[in-house]
Amino acid sequence: MIISIFLFYFLLIIIICSHFVNCSHIQCCQEAGVPHHCAKSLCNLNAPPGDLERYSLFDGRRTCATYLPEISTCLADGRDSTACCVKEAESPDDSACFGICNGTMEYDTTRNIAYFQSCFSVNTDAIYKCIKSSHNSSPSMPRDLELEELGENSVRLNWKQPLKNARYVTFYKVHVVESRNMRNTPSVYSTKNLEFTINNLKSESTYSFFVIAHGKSYQGNDEYYKSTPSNIIHFTLSKNILVFDKIKRLPKQADSAELSCHLKVLHGTKPIVEWEKSTIDGTQIIENSQNRFIITQYSSDTTPRFMVSSLEIRNLQPSDFTVYRCHIKGQSQEYGQIEIQSHSFSDSPPESNPPQTINECCLDSISQPHCKSMCNMNPLRRSNFAPMTRCMTEFHNLFRCTLTHMNNAACCIKSKIPYQCLGLCEGSYDLDFFELATCLSYDDKIGQCQAETLNLRPQPVSDVENSYSENDGTFTFTWAPSIGAKIYHIYKRFNGEKWSSETSNLTKYTTENVDEIVFLAVNDYGVSNQNRLIFIDGKWITPR
């Protein structure tokens, strides 16, 4: 009797699954770790969520937002119905949820879920209709893409036909994305075969290969019925490409260190940054730990896409002064490298030249002559961000000059400053003039990071006074002791000739034959902002 009842319910479930619920997608979601209430409401193509659910499912403690990647992958099931979703959508311009149509929907903690909800609430019916239609009309993804090296600069790609709806395949598109110097260059080739040869590959580039199966054309659009990409293969002839190589100099008594990493995401790579540490025993993968190593990372919303990451090392130890590498998981052939070196600026001789003034740096950096007038304004005042249409492309050069002593991208990344605003934190990042209005809303956090850098260094030399001795033709300069200074670097020259430098632990300096002089306060962590004086018309003045 009990067995009969069990069989009855088992058959009932089969009937329900066959006629009312798309159980395969619900099962896929549940096996991927999606909670039952999310799988039941979002993974059933035959019963899209109702008007209220479209909001309630993404609010509160039981939000389904964090499971959007798994949900979209299960719903798409190897098909890309984006073209249909755009065509059938009630609001095609509101596209923040269209990743569901091709299995690439992501949950980004740096974005407001309201953008997704706005799109999803009005386009749900169209999205589910298109996905369901694609399961009947589109092939699933090509399988088991493999690469065979043929020679010095050629490869052959081989793959298997789709597991589902292979009969609908009319041709395949082979996608090749060349990555070089932080730029992506895509190429697409069509074939009806299950293999394709690619020639003339370059040793200095990294390549991403994937294949998409295309079905019949719809109203002249051959992108309408197609699969999602096959597995993606990343390849480089040189095996390893060093994207950047930096040195971080810190005194041996430093308590902590902060490193930053900036990498381009190759097509189809899971955007997770991995950090490695060189040790006497080899290479060690760094795990996130609140006590010693704190890793922060997030991606840009730009094209191409970038990942940025910071590594904070607490309780700095002698063994931490070594080489660190960062790379994107699954993309280890492209990596960045940073070496922490033990270095005391106060124990080192002065550089051959003093730091450039902002004006000097600006004049050297800006290439368009008509834009050099920008160098005479104060770039840190908001009122100076007025539109200068012909010079907008030069603004990032101007900002690089203002950040010479305040570079701290790691702190800004740790503070989750948006990628497009990191140019306000460090000169190695470009700053788009059109992003300034958005970025200035983060000026408090950026200012805190700049202060964090400057606070380790001594205060600039101030209260400089001078006297002239007619007996021996010498100038004597005196100044107030700088807070945090161990020594002073003094640069001087006459009539624009080559700079000479001296080191002093006093706050008094006497010299002759000089019409330009620079004072820098120095400690183990670095140098202060400069105090520069020039002699004009019988007086020492501070240049603009």
| 416 contacts: CB under 8 Å, gap ≥ 6 | 110, 296, 298
Q: How far apart are CA 336 and CA 327, in angstroms?
A: 7
Question: Where a domain ends, among 215, 236, 257?
Answer: 236
Question: Where a domain ends, among 323, 343, 363?
Answer: 343
Does 223 lie in the same domain as 261? no
Does 295 lie in the same domain as 228? no
* Cα dihedral 82/97/108/44 (nearest 10): -90
Q: How far apart are CA 67 and CA 39, in angstroms?
A: 9
Q: From 408, 364, 381, select the one nearest 259 (Cα to Cα).
A: 408
Residue 33 lies in a domain: yes
Are residues 179 and 264 in contact, defined by beta-carbon separation less than 8 angstroms? yes
Integer Rg of the chain from CA: 31
Give the orientation angle of helix 68-76 with respect to helix 23-31, to 10 degrees.
140
Which two tokens mark 368? 């368009």
What are the residues facing 245 on neighbouring strands?
A: 337
Residue 409 lies in a domain: no
Q: At which residue do the structure tokens 């199966």 appear?
A: 213
pLDDT for 62 equals 82
Does 99 lie in the same domain as 18? yes
Reported residue count of the chain is 544
Mean pLDDT, consecutive 10-residue stretches, the chain (544 aa), reads 43 41 76 92 91 86 88 94 92 86 79 82 93 94 94 92 95 92 86 96 88 92 93 83 90 96 78 91 88 92 85 96 92 88 95 90 84 67 50 73 79 93 86 76 90 93 95 95 97 95 96 96 96 94 85
Q: At which residue do the structure tokens 């140019």 appear?
A: 423
Question: Where a domain ends, among 137, 165, 181?
Answer: 137
Are residues 459 and 485 in contact, defined by beta-carbon separation less than 8 angstroms? yes
pLDDT for 112 equals 65
Does 95 lie in the same domain as 42? yes
Q: How far apart are CA 399 and CA 358, in angstroms?
A: 9
CA 78 to each of CA 101, 190, 204, 229, 516: distance values in angstroms, whole numbers, following the listed order:
10, 19, 33, 8, 70
Q: What is the DSSP string of 171-225?
A: EEEEEEEEEETTEEEEEEEEESSSEEEE----TT-EEEEEEEEE---BTTBTTSS
Does 269 lie in the same domain as 199? no
Q: From 543, 542, 541, 470, select the one nearest 512 (Cα to Cα).
A: 470
Q: How far apart are CA 8 and CA 6, in angstroms?
A: 5
Q: How far apart are CA 107 and CA 54, in angstroms?
A: 16
pLDDT for 15 equals 42
pLDDT for 175 equals 95
Does 193 lie in the same domain as 128? no
Are residues 67 and 99 in contact, defined by beta-carbon separation less than 8 angstroms? no
Does 249 lie in the same domain as 339? yes
Which two tokens mark 216? 């019949």
Q: How far apart are CA 404 and CA 449, in angstroms?
A: 14
Does 253 lie in the same domain as 219? no
**How many separate domains does the chain show?**
4
Could you tell me the residue range of the domain that residue 250 belongs to? 241-343
pLDDT for 83 equals 94
Residue 312 lies in a domain: yes
Q: What is the DSSP string of 99-121?
A: GGGTT-----TTS-HHHHHHHHH
Does 38 lie in the same domain as 21? yes
Does 120 lie in the same domain as 87? yes
Are residues 371 and 394 in contact, defined by beta-carbon separation less than 8 angstroms? yes
Residue 518 lies in a domain: yes
Q: Is 535 left (phi over 0), alpha (psi -120 to 50) or beta?
A: beta
Q: From 253, 258, 250, 252, select the one nearest 312 (Cα to Cα).
A: 258
Residue 196 lies in a domain: yes
Instruction: Say how many CA atoms lie within 13 Å of 139 toward its Cβ.
Output: 26
| 219 contacts: CB under 8 Å, gap ≥ 6 | none
Residue 40 lies in a domain: yes
Number of Cβ atoms within 10 Å of the Cβ of 104: 18
Does 308 lie in the same domain as 282? yes
pTM of the model: 0.67
Q: How far apart are CA 400 and CA 425, in angstroms?
A: 9
Residue 191 lies in a domain: yes
Does 101 lie in the same domain as 161? no
What are the residues facing 468 on neighbouring strands?
A: 475
Q: How far apart are CA 323 and CA 244, in angstroms?
A: 13
Are residues 89 and 124 in contact, defined by beta-carbon separation less than 8 angstroms? no
Q: From 259, 238, 262, select the one nearest 249 (Cα to Cα).
A: 259
Residue 367 lies in a domain: no
Phi, psi for residue 78 in degrees, rounded to 5: 85, 5
Q: What is the CATH number of the domain that holds 326?
A: 2.60.40.10
| Beta-strand relationship, 500-504 and 487-493 | antiparallel
